Amino acid sequence: MINLMVVDDHATVREGLARLLDLDPDIDVVAQAADGSEAIELVDIYRPVVVLMDLSMPRMNGVEATRHIMKRWPDTRVIGLTSFSDQEWVIAMLDAGACGYLLKEDEPVDLIRGIKVAVDGQSPLAPRAAAALLRSRVARSSLRTLTEREREVLSLLADGLTNSRIATTLRIREATVKAHLTRVYQVLDVPDRTSAALRARELGLHPSVIAC
């Protein structure tokens, strides 16, 4: 039997998931939590094998709660369960120690399969979440091919500076800034400065994080 806890701040969603999963003969929903702080308290009491963890919650979000749970109970299999397939959320959950990432709109059979896959030691990932993770890895790999100066220019661009301001900040010619940006666009495979700025922010690149 798989002892499982559902964590979600929306009572209707949480209770609906619990009822749905309890129908499977291999799953026993032993607890429900409305936020990350309560989830940590209940894991200590019920010691579920699997925790389905929502991300956006009051008091403590799912990423922070997952980090705490994995530090204290590393054998717990936490699965991110949310409506977001954004790569930042996917990476944040996996970095916090979650073993997988599923979407609330997935079919019930896929959720149940994901839970059982997690118990078997594998990493369930919804296709859209996997695609977001792949895009991030490709982008980060591309970022590493930029020179230090190109990353500096990109980080300042992401911070909203114009070419003129970037040139003044780095004490280089504006034409040099434009040349660096041309190379940045090619490496990141983006068409313009707006797309480049968005990509840089997705990757967490900003003036205080110049090196990669």
Which spans in the chain are helix H?
A: 11-22, 36-46, 62-72, 87-96, 108-119, 127-143, 148-158, 163-170, 174-188, 193-202
Q: How distant, in Å, are the alpha carbons of 3, 77, 153 from that of 48? A: 5, 9, 48
Residue-level pLDDT at 200: 80
Q: What is the mean pLDDT of the chain?
A: 86
Rounded-to-integer distance, Cα 96 and Cα 7, Å: 16
Is residue 123 within 8 Å of 101, Cβ to Cβ? no
Q: What is the mean pLDDT of residues 206-210?
A: 45
| DSSP helix/strand/coil, 31 | strand
Q: What is the mean pLDDT of residues 46-55?
A: 96
pLDDT above 70 as % of the chain: 84
96 or 143, which is more confident? 96
- φ, ψ (nearest 5 deg) of residue 138: -65, -45
Contacts by 137-140, CB closer than 8 A, 24 or more apart: 139/188, 139/199, 139/202, 139/203, 140/203, 140/212
Q: Is the pLDDT of residue 135 over 70?
A: no
> Over the stretch 163-177, which tens digit does the pLDDT of each residue have?
999 999 999 999 999
* Structure tokens given for 14: 């949480």
Residue-level pLDDT at 209: 39
Domains and CATH numbers, the chain: 2-136 (3.40.50.2300), 144-202 (1.10.10.10)
Rounded-to-integer distance, Cα 154 and Cα 149, Å: 9
* Structure tokens given for 142: 């591309």
Is residue 29 within 8 Å of 18, Cβ to Cβ? yes
Residue 211: band (very low, low, confident or very high) from pLDDT cuts 50, 70, 90: very low
Q: What is the pTM of this model?
A: 0.65
**134 CB-near residues (< 8 Å, 6+ apart):** none
Would residue 50 be called left, alpha or beta, if left means φ above 0 and alpha means ψ between -120 and 50 degrees?
beta
> Over the stretch 76-133, which tens digit does the pLDDT of each residue have?
999 998 876 566 677 788 889 999 888 888 888 999 999 999 999 998 876 565 555 5
